[in-house]
Amino acid sequence: MNDALNLLQPYPFEKLRTLLAGARHAGQLRHIALSIGEPKHPSPAFVAQALCDNLEQLAVYPTTAGLPALREAIAHWCERRFGVAPGWLDPNRHVLPVNGTREALFSFVQTVVQRGQNGWVVSPNPFYQIYEGAAVLAGAEPHYLPCLESHGFNPDFDAVPAEVWRRCQVLFLCSPGNPTGALVPLATLKKLIGLADEYDFVIAADECYSELYFDEASPPPGLLSACAALGRSDFKRCVVFHSLSKRSNLPGLRSGFVAGDADILKAYLVYRTYHGCAMPVQTQLASIAAWNDEAHVRENRALYRAKFDAVLDILTPVLDVHRPDGGFYLWPNVGRDDTRFCRELFEQQHVTVVPGSYLSREVDGLNPGAGRVRMALVAPLAECVEAAQRIRRFVEHA
């Protein structure tokens, strides 16, 4: 067996199951889960129809590089969304379809990490645990940058020592962040590209929540936006990860893409060819329909705005909680032990949330998630409102 498997930590939801094991919940109340970030809004009917219309493609082996039409649709979407100049993103060199960002984030690290060089995979803390597992299984060491409220829930990149950048092989970004919802500003993205050039590391920007924001007139920037602003038409050392799961309420489609540095993606395609993870043709054709439509995405954002408005009206008087920059999570400070808060909330109100300490790592005596919980506003509006009312009652009677 691969000894590195013994270094993997339990997934947050495994820890949560252990925490709640044997808990006696309030039996008269139905369960409301605000724990798992699985979108619950209806999937677009036209995407489902495109999938059904192409089921004969079940008889066709898909190619790992994907259909030219899908890569072209993705490239054009990036141009529209992030202000990339037409023609900069060559669909044949700068774009690869993937089976959702989770699979891609993990396999990407296996491609770019150079084993035996004492390298680091640097990530925000708290973080999506795939970053850590990918680093460990690629033979690298995870290194964590705390995301504190005092710095807008983003890492203080200016305070990172040069030694960290020298050892860094991959820098993970997540914007909007999971679980904080914080956006990495454009100026910071440009600065990080400069550091990547200086110290020769790859920036892997996980932007799976990028289409969940509040101001329709101001879509948040991404790493491609920074490349465009810098005139960086080769996207050197920059790779972005996007998905239809959150944007289009299609988590079961397992469809996303990776785009950026052509030399890196050329090597990544070789890895993926051996990995055997080609996207089914019918899924690719349905994905084209999704990337070419924005109306359903605007409707999706409107649903989340309504939930944030309603839930924050209920919780703000009793919790230290604020509207995030984007995404669908709340990250409140509960003012006490987060694991105890979660267990007692489940027992008394039958609502499940995730302890913030389960989403972070303690470094030098500090766990940035301690004392916080993650609430995923993915359930229908009425359920989110009911959950918020129960949480308020719980806090008021604590």
Domains of the chain (ranges, CATH numbers): 3-42+296-396 (3.90.1150.10), 47-293 (3.40.640.10)
pLDDT for 27 = 77
pLDDT for 116 = 84
Both tokens assigned to 319: 């919790």
Both tokens assigned to 395: 């806090």
Both tokens assigned to 67: 């259909």
pLDDT for 117 = 86
pLDDT for 24 = 87
pLDDT for 252 = 97
Q: For the chain, what is the radius of gyration of the CA atoms?
A: 21
* Average pLDDT score over the chain: 97
Both tokens assigned to 39: 């979108």
d(CA 28, CA 30): 7
Closest CA to 110 of 131, 89, 86: 131
pLDDT, one tens digit per residue, over 78-106 is: 999 999 999 999 999 999 999 999 999 99
Helix (H) or strand (E) holding 268: helix 262-275
pLDDT for 392 = 98
pLDDT level of residue 293 (50, 70, 90 thresholds): very high
In the chain, the percentage of residues whose pLDDT exceeds 90 is 96
Using the CB atoms, write b or e for 202-229: b if 16+ within 10 Å: bbbbbbbbbbbbeeeeebbbbbbbbbbb
Amino acid identity, position 280: P
DSSP state of 7: G
Both tokens assigned to 125: 């803390």
pLDDT level of residue 398 (50, 70, 90 thresholds): confident
Angstrom CA distances, 263 to 93, 205, 266, stand at 8, 17, 5
pLDDT level of residue 253 (50, 70, 90 thresholds): very high
pLDDT, one tens digit per residue, over 199-228 is: 999 999 999 999 999 999 999 999 999 999
